[in-house]
């Protein structure tokens, strides 16, 4: 099973025009997001990919820790310089790219949990983290971080064993990290170019979103909203109907289902 993620190994199957033309690989690093910010300061080109076999301080949304073991998954950050109108849709594109690549390589059918998780059999297999710097209505940079559990044994990790899974655990066999990563970069480029051309990716997002048509509780900081998840707008914001019938739009938060 080909588990190598060196730049040379990745480029063997990569035929993208933009994403991954520059690849920076680390065996172990604190965080690919931090390494991406450093690369931006050094003039990294758009589409540069930072990839690591292991992170010692990986993080997810809301500063939560992302646990990993060497060689167990795909840990990467993509450097972008998008137009402002594309910025809110990058997480949506990344979730779709992960979902498509999983389907292509394994035949599994993942679902998306709003706003940034990809699920298999109800458990998290991937998480997306997007960070950006915007000044005077212009985007200085955006970084899309993707973590995908490929051959990780989450059963041996008590902190996440009840909520996370991996491709290997669902399939019962190891999966090529290289093959998944190459597919992922192709899919992300296709979606990113669509956004640049002014095309919407909302329809596929809605089709894959398992959060819709359910009663939910959404928590964002100290604010809590209960309601029925009706839809997601073109920027990826969740639209819920409150018990009083009023529609509200939520840009970020943690969603739990209400019985």
3-state SS, the chain, equals CCCCCCHHHHHCCCCCCCCCCCEEEEEEECCHHHHHHHHHHCCCCCCCEEEEEEECCCECHHHCECCCCCCCEEEEEEEECCCHHHHHHHHHHHHHHHHHHHHHHHCCCCEEECCCEEEECCEEEEEEEEEEEEECCEEEEEEEEEEEECCCCHHHCCCCCCCECCHHHHHCCCCCHHHHHHHHHHHHHHHHHHHHCCCCCHHHHHHHECCCCCEEEEEECCEEEEEEEEEECCCCCEEEECCCCCEEEECCCEEEECC
pLDDT score of 255 = 81
Cα torsion through 42, 79, 102, 203, rounded to 10:
180
Could you give the CA distance from residue 199 to residue 217 in angstroms, rounded to a whole number? Answer: 31
Instruction: Determine how many CB atoms are found less than 10 A away from the CB of residue 256.
Output: 8
Cα torsion through 106, 107, 112, 113, rounded to 10:
-70
Q: Is the pTM of this model over 0.85?
A: yes
pLDDT score of 236 = 87
pLDDT score of 63 = 55
Q: Name which CATH class applies to 7-207.
A: alpha beta
Which residues of the chain, if any, have pLDDT below 50?
Answer: 62
Q: How confident is the model over 122-169, as pLDDT tens digits? A: 999 999 999 999 988 889 999 999 999 999 988 888 887 789 999 999
Q: How confident is the model over 47-67, as pLDDT tens digits? A: 999 999 988 866 655 456 666
* Cβ(38)–Cβ(25) below 8 Å: no
Instruction: Determine how many CB atoms are found less than 10 A away from the CB of residue 230.
Output: 12
Q: 135 Cβ partners below 8 Å, 6+ apart? A: none
pLDDT score of 191 = 98
Give every strand in the sheet of 123-135, ordered side by side.
23-29, 49-55, 73-80, 138-149, 123-135, 117-120, 111-113
How is domain 212-257 classified at the architecture level of CATH? Answer: Roll (2.30)
pLDDT score of 256 = 80
pLDDT score of 60 = 56
Q: Where are the domains of the chain?
A: 7-207, 212-257
pLDDT score of 175 = 96
């Amino acid at each position: 099973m080909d588990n190598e993620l060196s730049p040379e190994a990745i480029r063997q199957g990569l035929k993208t025009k933009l994403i991954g033309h520059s690849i920076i690989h680390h065996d172990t690093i604190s965080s690919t997001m931090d390494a991406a910010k450093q690369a931006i300061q050094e003039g990294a080109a758009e589409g540069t990919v930072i990839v690591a076999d292991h992170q010692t301080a990986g993080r997810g949304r809301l500063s939560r820790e992302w646990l990993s073991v060497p060689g167990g998954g795909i840990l990467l950050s993509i450097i972008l310089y998008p137009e402002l109108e594309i910025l809110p849709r990058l997480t949506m594109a990344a979730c779709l790219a992960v979902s498509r690549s999983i389907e292509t390589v394994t035949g599994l059918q993942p679902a998306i949990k709003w706003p940034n998780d990809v699920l298999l059999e109800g458990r998290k297999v991937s998480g997306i983290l997007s960070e950006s710097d915007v000044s005077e209505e212009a985007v200085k940079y955006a970084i899309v971080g993707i973590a995908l559990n490929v051959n990780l044994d989450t059963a041996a990790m008590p902190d996440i064993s009840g909520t996370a899974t991996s491709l290997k655990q669902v399939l019962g066999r190891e999966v090529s990290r290289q093959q998944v990563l190459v597919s992922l970069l192709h899919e992300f480029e296709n979606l990113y170019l669509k956004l640049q051309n002014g095309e919407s990716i909302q329809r596929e997002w809605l089709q894959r979103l398992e959060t819709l048509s359910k009663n939910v509780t959404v928590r964002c900081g100290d604010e809590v909203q209960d309601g029925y998840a009706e839809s997601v707008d073109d920027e990826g914001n969740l639209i819920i109907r409150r018990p009083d019938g009023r529609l509200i739009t939520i840009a970020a938060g943690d969603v739990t289902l209400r019985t």
